[in-house]
């Protein structure tokens, strides 16, 4: 720990400005200013082997082109010191990073990185800083064309736009969430930089020129506009010396004299390029707006959304901001929360969401009423006002507030896997606005204050002020079918006009630019990257994986334990074996897990149950673990995962027993309400996460586990939900009988295994088990009928698609399979699908049980991606023969298999491994064998891969036009 630094003293080109101790995270914060450039540096000196670094810039949009988003992508495409096409992907392939990415926010761009390896950490910082301060795109416009946008020319000579960010934002605006975020920001922050689409609107992206792109870089990416943050255990002196040298050799002042904003007045957003200010909304006037969003191929009735939004508080009104979040949980945290219940009881909507968004200088409060009709919006607004007035007048339920506060208190005690990045993020959330660097690192005193306020009228007054009707903007989002088709037709007409305007010579120039880009993209500089980039060697990596021992405790029940990590929290996983009698009721089992905790029990109303859960349990989730036996059979386990403060373990067990044994299913209206919300969530996720649905569907013809997960959480589940809700009045009695039967057959002491990470609680676990019946025997596996699809498609509105091809190896995945998946994902698929074809992402996922799935994400051409998958085995065979440095990519693969983990995740790996045989010992064996994988083994895997791609187990999620082009046999 550093103890000798003094404020106002100079250290290696930096002056120490401030020191602050933060006991809550056991850290000392040091704030420096760089003497020459004015760059700010904050160091969090904290005992953590995972070291993190970030460089951040204030980036305030001035239009909808997404210029800062494209800059974020582009700086990682080569730099002055590292002149290779993609150092970012090379470092992903060859480093021991625990995080390596970048993020664009409404008012800042952040480049964070972390690693547990000291040498690797310094290497990564060097690559990052050269990337942001000396990027290659300033001399090479191909980077802009690839990451941002350019025109391709089809066989008819018609141009069409292509680019990675362009595809990404098409995906964002294919879903309702993207439309809501954009419209709300525009309504609330008019006249400031926050009104613009910081990620870029697809239509506006096409207006950004390469010249304006470079000018914007020079204006914003200067040391004077930079904040650097370090966290973890490290020797600061050498790092300060290194950073001083980097900053002293970075000067863009001569390039910004004719800045794109140099003509702005003193009152403009960017009047001083060296002191870029983040604007506040000082003149807010509520507005009313009406927007349309696409639900092509689906019913539009009852799909409209009412949104009320306002600015609330400021980034540094800490107590108020936490209190407003408490109000959100109190009012709409569950279906039984007072505002949400009042709205749901009208029968005029399906779901209600209330949340704050605080990644800006002035947070916003947003209320969404989904699944409604526009003609009912006034009634809904009246119910909102009436309900708030009644709560203010009658007072808030103090026990409910205490429960909400208990949940916040628990979250203060729990740490994320990459806690170092969380520290950096919280520092930036205040210091970029000129606030206290430690403001967001500790909430203990604030929570204590808020606890005292429960006995006063503080929350009622806050609620009355926050929900003043005249402070809200009102936006209506109207479901419309065919909107995507209209947009596509409009874009096509625009491209035809552009073709006529440019003439043959102009189109030829576009084609020439696209061809030059392709030549650059196809240039293989892997060998050059190995020579330029500072990479690790296998000797820098530990061969042995630390094994977390799992101990089976003797006693009345099967009890597994791993060593405790958090002194305050116990982590639990309960495994109930699914009996053979449930094999024809798998869909019902999946929706049952969504019913539990959301319906009343014999002892508690739903509202009382939610309150008790909030007070007693930090987190609770339900999942299903499957273990393949033969092709058509698998064992399955219902898994209940809990995190609980040590003093609440017995109370938590009592609640779980009450839920499992005494949940009531007699209120059909509540069950229908929950099912409708699940359907809405799955519909939305189909467009947002279509690659997951496509992969599960493609795999469902290959293993029992895959079929199980398709039925319980894939597109089949959506279809079954639609059918159930379409005839719910006739089916609900049978459904509730099924729920009872499943629980009766499954929940029993003899079916139960408990895994724990925490203080010894064997007596408590045994006592809980003894509250359960004996249960039915579950020795046999479940028979699951294989799906017979081969080439299928699922139609969604939007301009992008998700394509998957599934395969299944015999037995568990081996070291060669993991290495091949890594190489294919970060070399072949990255170049062919992302770089050259403009998809936002692509990869090959290799699972422990031998399942493999190629996938693409926000993909402009699923047809192309399917062809790329088919050619993967031949590419891998050739690459294995000629790969210049196989050891380097082994490092990245080893790293992928050893991520940072929370205590809960460690317990999951150890306990799941008890059932699957793929716990820490399996992972340790794979790690050892990765060091020795040969080119011949990779070629052997390529042959196995070829057999899998021949099976044509394919699913594409995309527009009807995309599915038609892909020549799929069956389309839903």
SS3 675: helix
The 10s digit of each residue's pLDDT in 622-674 is 999 999 887 788 899 999 999 999 999 999 999 999 999 999 999 999 999 99
The 10 Å Cβ neighbour count of residue 871 is 13
Instruction: Please report which confidence band the pLDDT of residue 250 belongs to, taking 50, 70 and 90 as the band edges.
Output: confident
851: closest CA among 687, 688, 626?
A: 626
The 10 Å Cβ neighbour count of residue 199 is 25
Rounded Cα distance between 118 and 137, Å, is 30
Q: What's the pLDDT at 89?
A: 86
What are the structure tokens assigned to 861, written together?
């051409």
Q: What is the DSSP string of 834-850?
A: IITT--SEEEEEE-TTS
Instruction: Please report which confidence band the pLDDT of residue 884 belongs to, taking 50, 70 and 90 as the band edges.
Output: confident
Interior/surface letters 20-53, b for 16+ CB within 10 angstroms, e for the rest: eebeebebbbbbbebbebebbbbbbbbebebbbb
Kindly state the helix (H) or strand (E) to which residue 230 belongs, with its residue range. strand 226-232
Share of the chain above pLDDT 70, in %: 96
Instruction: Please report which confidence band the pLDDT of residue 269 belongs to, taking 50, 70 and 90 as the band edges.
Output: very low
Rounded Cα distance between 589 and 788, Å, is 23
Over 60: is that where the pLDDT of 42 sits? yes
Sign of CA pseudo-dihedral 883, 885, 887, 891: negative
Over 90: is that where the pLDDT of 576 sits? yes
Rounded Cα distance between 179 and 174, Å, is 8
Cross-strand pairs, 663: 601
- Output the CA–CA distances (angstroms, integers) from residue 740 to 587, 595, 673, 746, 747, in the order listed: 14, 12, 19, 10, 11
The 10s digit of each residue's pLDDT in 688-731 is 899 999 999 999 988 889 899 999 999 999 999 999 999 999 99
Rounded Cα distance between 532 and 131, Å, is 13
Q: What is the mean pLDDT of the chain?
A: 92
Sign of CA pseudo-dihedral 611, 615, 619, 625: negative
Kindly state the helix (H) or strand (E) to which residue 905 belongs, with its residue range. helix 903-916
Q: What's the pLDDT at 264?
A: 36
202: closest CA among 233, 173, 180?
A: 173
120: closest CA among 32, 40, 234?
A: 234
Map tokens 């362009």 to a residue: 166
What are the structure tokens assigned to 217, written together?
């870089």
Q: What's the pLDDT at 371?
A: 93
Q: Count Cβ atoms within 10 A of the Cβ of residue 491 and give its class: 0-12 exposed, 13-18 middle, 19 or more buried.
A: middle
Share of the chain above pLDDT 90, in %: 79
1: closest CA among 52, 49, 43, 47?
A: 47
Over 90: is that where the pLDDT of 498 sits? yes
SS3 826: helix
The 10 Å Cβ neighbour count of residue 798 is 23
Highest average pLDDT, of 39-43, 297-301, 881-885, 959-963, comes from 39-43
Q: What's the pLDDT at 58?
A: 97
Q: What's the pLDDT at 428?
A: 96
957: closest CA among 649, 581, 688?
A: 688
Q: Count Cβ atoms within 10 A of the Cβ of residue 251 and give its class: 0-12 exposed, 13-18 middle, 19 or more buried.
A: middle
DSSP 302: T
Q: What is the DSSP string of 125-156?
A: HHHHHHHHHSBGGGT-THHHHHHT-EEEE-TT
The residues near 677 (Cβ < 8 Å, ≥ 6 apart) are 335, 350, 351
Give the rounded distance of the alpha carbon of 723 from its chain centre: 30
Rounded Cα distance between 696 and 690, Å, is 10
Q: What's the pLDDT at 168?
A: 93
DSSP 829: I
List of E strands, 801-910 = 802-808, 841-846, 851-857
R_g of the chain, CA atoms, integer Å: 28
Over 80: is that where the pLDDT of 526 sits? no
The 10s digit of each residue's pLDDT in 108-120 is 999 999 999 999 9
Instruction: Please report which confidence band the pLDDT of residue 687 belongs to, taking 50, 70 and 90 as the band edges.
Output: confident
List of E strands, 612-730 = 619-630, 633-645
Instruction: Please report which confidence band the pLDDT of residue 777 belongs to, taking 50, 70 and 90 as the band edges.
Output: low
Question: What does the CA dihedral 233, 237, 239, 242 come to, rounded to 10 degrees?
Answer: -170
Sign of CA pseudo-dihedral 163, 164, 165, 169: positive
Q: Are 748 and 775 in contact (CB under 8 A)?
A: yes
Region class of 555: left (phi > 0), else alpha (psi between -120 and 50), else beta: left
- For the segment 263-287, the average pLDDT, to the nearest whole number, is 63
Over 90: is that where the pLDDT of 524 sits? no
Dihedrals phi, psi of 879, to nearest 5 degrees: -65, -40
Q: What's the pLDDT at 829?
A: 96
Kindly state the helix (H) or strand (E) to which residue 356 belongs, with its residue range. strand 351-357
- For the segment 568-577, the average pLDDT, to the nearest whole number, is 96
Rounded Cα distance between 961 and 317, Å, is 50
Instruction: Please report which confidence band the pLDDT of residue 254 belongs to, taking 50, 70 and 90 as the band edges.
Output: low
Highest average pLDDT, of 240-254, 621-635, 921-935, comes from 921-935
- For the segment 890-900, the average pLDDT, to the nearest whole number, is 92
- For the segment 160-173, the average pLDDT, to the nearest whole number, is 93
Question: What does the CA dihedral 956, 958, 961, 965 come to, rounded to 10 degrees?
Answer: -30
What are the structure tokens assigned to 2, written together?
């550093």
Structure pTM?
0.92
Rounded Cα distance between 140 and 78, Å, is 10
Dihedrals phi, psi of 193, to nearest 5 degrees: -70, -20
Over 80: is that where the pLDDT of 531 sits? no
Kindly state the helix (H) or strand (E) to which residue 953 belongs, with its residue range. strand 953-958
Rounded Cα distance between 184 and 267, Å, is 25
Q: What's the pLDDT at 529?
A: 61
Kindly state the helix (H) or strand (E) to which residue 56 belongs, with its residue range. strand 51-58
Question: What does the CA dihedral 667, 673, 677, 678 come to, rounded to 10 degrees?
Answer: 40
Over 60: is that where the pLDDT of 2 sits? no
Among the residue ranges 46-60, 99-113, 790-804, the one predicted with the least confidence is 790-804
Instruction: Please report which confidence band the pLDDT of residue 300 belongs to, taking 50, 70 and 90 as the band edges.
Output: confident
Rounded Cα distance between 600 and 17, Å, is 56
Sign of CA pseudo-dihedral 556, 557, 560, 566: negative
Q: What's the pLDDT at 253?
A: 61
The 10s digit of each residue's pLDDT in 346-391 is 999 999 999 999 889 999 999 999 999 999 999 999 999 999 999 9
The 10 Å Cβ neighbour count of residue 547 is 12
The half-sphere exposure of 726 on its side-chain side, counting CA atoms within 13 A, is 7
The half-sphere exposure of 614 on its side-chain side, counting CA atoms within 13 A, is 24
Instruction: Please report which confidence band the pLDDT of residue 530 belongs to, taking 50, 70 and 90 as the band edges.
Output: low
- Output the CA–CA distances (angstroms, integers) from residue 746 to 625, 639, 751, in the order listed: 14, 12, 7
951: closest CA among 849, 846, 853, 813?
A: 853
DSSP 902: -
Over 80: is that where the pLDDT of 274 sits? no
Instruction: Please report which confidence band the pLDDT of residue 217 belongs to, taking 50, 70 and 90 as the band edges.
Output: very high
Rounded Cα distance between 285 and 470, Å, is 9
Q: Count Cβ atoms within 10 A of the Cβ of residue 549 and give its class: 0-12 exposed, 13-18 middle, 19 or more buried.
A: exposed
What are the structure tokens assigned to 456, written together?
């006063």
Sign of CA pseudo-dihedral 718, 720, 721, 722: positive
The residues near 869 (Cβ < 8 Å, ≥ 6 apart) are 803, 805, 854, 949
* Residues belonging to the chain: 972
Rounded Cα distance between 328 and 302, Å, is 25
Map tokens 């002035």 to a residue: 362
Map tokens 């990779």 to a residue: 938
Over 70: is that where the pLDDT of 267 sits? no
Interior/surface letters 62-82, b for 16+ CB within 10 angstroms, e for the rest: bebbbbbbbbbbbbbbbbebb
């Amino acid at each position: 720990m550093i103890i000798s630094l003094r404020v106002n003293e100079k250290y290696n080109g930096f002056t120490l400005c401030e020191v602050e101790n933060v006991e809550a995270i056991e850290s000392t914060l040091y704030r420096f200013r760089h003497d020459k450039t004015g760059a700010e540096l904050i160091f969090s000196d904290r005992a953590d082997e995972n070291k993190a670094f970030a460089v951040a810039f204030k980036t305030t949009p001035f239009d909808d082109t997404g210029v800062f988003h494209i800059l974020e992508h582009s700086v990682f495409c080569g730099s002055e010191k590292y002149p290779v096409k993609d150092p970012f992907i090379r470092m992903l392939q060859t480093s021991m990073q625990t995080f390596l990415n970048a993020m664009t926010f409404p008012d800042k761009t952040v480049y964070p990185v972390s690693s547990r390896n000291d040498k690797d950490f310094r290497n990564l910082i060097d690559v990052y800083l050269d990337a942001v301060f000396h990027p290659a795109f300033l001399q090479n416009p191909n980077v802009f064309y690839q990451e941002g946008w350019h025109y391709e020319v089809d066989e008819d000579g018609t141009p069409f736009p292509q680019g990675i960010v362009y595809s990404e934002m098409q995906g964002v605006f294919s879903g309702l969430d993207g439309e809501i975020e954009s419209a709300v920001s525009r309504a609330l922050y008019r006249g400031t930089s926050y009104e613009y689409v910081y990620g870029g609107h697809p239509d506006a992206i096409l207006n950004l020129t390469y010249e304006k792109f470079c000018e914007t870089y020079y204006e914003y990416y200067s040391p004077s506009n930079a904040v650097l943050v370090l966290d973890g255990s490290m020797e600061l002196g050498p790092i300060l010396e290194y950073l001083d040298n980097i900053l002293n050799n970075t000067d863009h002042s001569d390039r910004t004299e004719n800045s794109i904003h140099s003509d702005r007045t003193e009152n403009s957003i960017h009047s001083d390029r060296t002191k870029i200010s983040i604007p506040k909304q000082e003149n807010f006037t509520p507005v009313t707006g009406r927007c349309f969003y696409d639900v092509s191929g689906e019913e539009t009735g009852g799909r409209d959304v009412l949104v009320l939004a306002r600015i609330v508080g400021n980034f540094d009104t800490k107590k108020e901001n936490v209190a407003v979040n408490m109000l959100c949980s109190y009012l709409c945290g569950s279906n039984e929360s007072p505002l949400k219940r009042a709205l749901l009881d009208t029968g005029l909507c399906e779901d209600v969401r209330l949340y704050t968004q605080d990644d800006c200088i002035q947070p916003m409060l947003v209320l969404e009423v989904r699944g409604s009709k526009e003609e009912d919006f006034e009634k809904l607004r009246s119910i909102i006002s009436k309900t708030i007035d009644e709560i203010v007048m009658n007072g808030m339920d103090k026990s409910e507030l205490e429960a909400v506060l208990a949940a916040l208190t628990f979250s203060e005690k729990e740490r994320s896997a990459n806690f170092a990045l969380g520290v950096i993020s919280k520092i930036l959330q205040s210091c970029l606005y000129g606030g206290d660097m430690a403001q967001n690192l500790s909430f203990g005193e604030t929570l204590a204050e808020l606890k005292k306020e429960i006995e006063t009228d503080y929350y009622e007054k806050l609620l009355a002020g926050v929900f003043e009707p005249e402070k809200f903007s009102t936006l209506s989002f109207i479901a419309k079918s065919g909107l995507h088709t209209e947009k596509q037709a409009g874009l096509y007409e625009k491209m035809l006009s552009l073709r006529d305007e440019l003439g043959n010579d102009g189109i030829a120039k576009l084609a020439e630019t696209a061809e030059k880009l392709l030549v650059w993209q196809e240039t293989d500089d892997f060998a050059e990257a190995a020579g330029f980039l500072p990479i690790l060697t296998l000797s820098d990596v530990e061969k042995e994986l630390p094994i977390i021992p799992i101990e089976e405790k003797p006693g009345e029940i099967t009890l597994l334990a791993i060593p405790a990590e958090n002194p305050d929290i116990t982590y639990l996983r309960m495994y109930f074996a699914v009996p053979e009698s449930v094999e024809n009721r798998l869909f019902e089992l999946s929706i049952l897990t969504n019913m539990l905790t959301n319906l009343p029990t014999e002892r508690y109303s739903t509202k009382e149950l939610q309150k008790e859960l909030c007070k007693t349990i930090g987190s609770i989730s339900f999942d299903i673990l499957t273990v393949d036996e033969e092709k058509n059979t698998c064992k399955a386990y219902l898994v209940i995962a809990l995190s609980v403060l040590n003093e609440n373990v017995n109370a938590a067990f009592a609640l779980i027993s009450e839920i499992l044994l005494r949940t009531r299913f007699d209120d059909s209206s509540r069950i229908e309400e929950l099912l409708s919300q699940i359907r809405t969530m799955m519909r939305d996720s189909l467009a947002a996460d279509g690659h997951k649905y496509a992969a599960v569907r493609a795999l469902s013809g290959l293993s029992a586990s895959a079929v199980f997960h398709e039925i319980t959480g894939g597109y089949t589940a959506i279809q079954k939900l639609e059918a159930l809700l379409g005839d719910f009045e006739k089916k609900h009695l049978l459904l509730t009988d099924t729920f009872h039967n499943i629980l009766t057959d499954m929940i029993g002491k003899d079916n139960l295994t408990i895994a724990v990470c925490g203080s010894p609680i064997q007596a408590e676990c045994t006592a809980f088990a003894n509250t359960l019946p004996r249960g039915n025997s579950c020795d046999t596996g479940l028979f699951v009928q294989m799906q017979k699809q081969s080439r299928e498609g699922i139609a969604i509105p939007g301009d992008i698609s998700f394509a998957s091809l599934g395969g299944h190896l015999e037995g568990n995945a081996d070291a060669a399979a993991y290495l091949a998946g890594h190489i294919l994902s970060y070399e072949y698929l990255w170049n062919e699908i992302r770089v050259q074809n403009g998809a936002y992402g692509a990869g090959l996922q290799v699972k422990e049980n031998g399942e493999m799935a190629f996938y693409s994400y926000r993909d402009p051409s699923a047809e192309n991606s399917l062809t790329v998958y088919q050619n993967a085995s031949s590419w891998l065979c050739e690459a294995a023969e000629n790969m210049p440095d196989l050891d380097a990519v082994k490092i990245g693969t080893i790293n992928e298999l050893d991520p940072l983990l929370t205590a809960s995740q460690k317990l999951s790996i150890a306990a799941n491994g008890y059932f699957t045989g793929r716990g820490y010992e399996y992972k340790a064996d794979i790690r050892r064998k990765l060091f020795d994988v040969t080119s011949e083994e990779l070629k052997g895997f390529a042959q196995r891969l070829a057999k899998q791609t021949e099976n044509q187990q394919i699913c594409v999620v995309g527009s009807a036009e995309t599915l038609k082009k892909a020549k799929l046999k069956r389309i839903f």
